[in-house]
């Protein structure tokens, strides 16, 4: 059973996203909404990672060795300026999208296992991730014309 690997992947994606959110928030502290909302969303990522932990531990006992090239690297540091903000938010968006698809797949596995406890955690995590995606997408859509055409 390989679920543990995907739980690990999702867990790591959540903690990596939390760290990246905080880094972007610090790098763009002059964008007050970014600074506040990245921190708020990072806390949510931490909570979700914590909620996943017991399931990851439980299923780890039944898992074979971790396959190669499981984890991806989507974030390599922040940039500056209006265009830099847009690119940083795009990185966050892609990292959130990775979490989003992981939630979907882990949710499918939870159904296959009839693990309602995991399914509940997934359902909440997936919903919050959808909100994060919508927020990032909207914020980028607002910023794009000014950053790409005007500035």
Partner 1 sequence: MDPWGARTPYAAGEQWPERHDEYTTEPPERWVRSASLLHSNGDGIDIGVRGNRIVGVRGRAGDRVNRGRLDVKDRYGWQANARPDRLTRPLVRDGGELRECGWDEAMGRIVERSRQLIAGPGGWGRFGFYTTGQLFLEEFYTLGVIGKAGLGTPHMDGNTRLCTATSAAALKASFGTDGQPGSYTDVDHCDAIALWGHNVAETQTVLWMRMLDRRAGANPPAMLAVDPRATPVALEADVHLPIRPGTNLALMNGLLRLMLRHGWVDKEYVSRHTVGLEKLEQVVDAYPVEHVARICDLKTAEIERAAELLGTAERLLSTVLQGFYQSHQATAAAVAVNNLHLLRGMLGRPGAGVLQMNGQPTAQNTRETGADGDLPGFRNWDNPSHVRELAELWNVDMATIPHWAPPTHAMQIWRYAEQGSIELLWISGTNPAVSMPDLARIRRILARPELFVVVQDIFPTETSEFADVVLPAATWGEKTGAFTNADRTVHLSEKAVDPPGEARADLDIFLDYAARMDFRDRDGRPLIHWTDPESAYAAWQRCSAGRPCDYTDITYDKLRGDSGLQWGGERLYTDGVFNTRSDYCETYGQELSTGAERPAAEHHGDGRAFLLATGYSPAPEAPSDDFPLRLVTGRTVTQFHTRTKTGRVPELDREAPGPWIELHPDDAAAHGIHDGDPVRVESARGAIEVPARVCGIRRGVVFVPFHYAAEAANELTLTAWDPVSKQPLFKLCAVRVRGKV
Query: Which residues sit at the interface with partner 1, rule CB under 8 A?
Result: 30-33, 36-37, 39-41, 81-82, 131-132, 134-135, 137-138, 141-142, 145-146, 149-151
Helix (H, G, I), strand (E, B) or coil at 84: helix
The residues near 60 (Cβ < 8 Å, ≥ 6 apart) are: 4, 8
Q: Which is nearer to partner 1, 33 or 57 (CB)?
A: 33
Find the shortest distance in angstroms from Cβ 132 to partner 1.
Answer: 7
Q: Which is nearer to partner 1, 60 or 151 (CB)?
A: 151
Find the shortest distance in angstroms from Cβ 44 to partner 1.
Answer: 9
The residues near 16 (Cβ < 8 Å, ≥ 6 apart) are: 74, 75, 95
Find the shortest distance in angstroms from Cβ 52 to partner 1.
Answer: 20
Q: Which ranges in 2-115 belong to alpha helices (H)?
A: 3-27, 32-60, 81-113
């Amino acid at each position: 059973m390989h679920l543990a690997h995907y739980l690990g992947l999702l867990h790591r994606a959540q903690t990596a996203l939390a760290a990246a959110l905080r880094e972007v928030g610090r790098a763009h502290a002059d964008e007050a909404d970014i600074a506040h909302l990245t921190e708020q969303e990072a806390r949510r990522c931490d909570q979700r990672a914590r909620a996943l932990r017991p399931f990851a531990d439980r299923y780890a006992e039944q898992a074979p060795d971790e396959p190669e090239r499981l984890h991806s690297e989507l974030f390599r540091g922040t940039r500056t300026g209006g265009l830099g903000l847009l690119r940083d938010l795009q990185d966050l968006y892609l990292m959130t999208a990775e979490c989003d698809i992981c939630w979907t797949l882990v949710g499918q596995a939870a159904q296959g296992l009839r693990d309602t406890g995991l399914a509940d955690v997934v359902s909440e995590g997936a919903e919050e991730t959808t909100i994060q995606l919508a927020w990032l997408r909207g914020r980028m859509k607002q910023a794009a014309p000014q950053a790409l055409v005007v500035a």
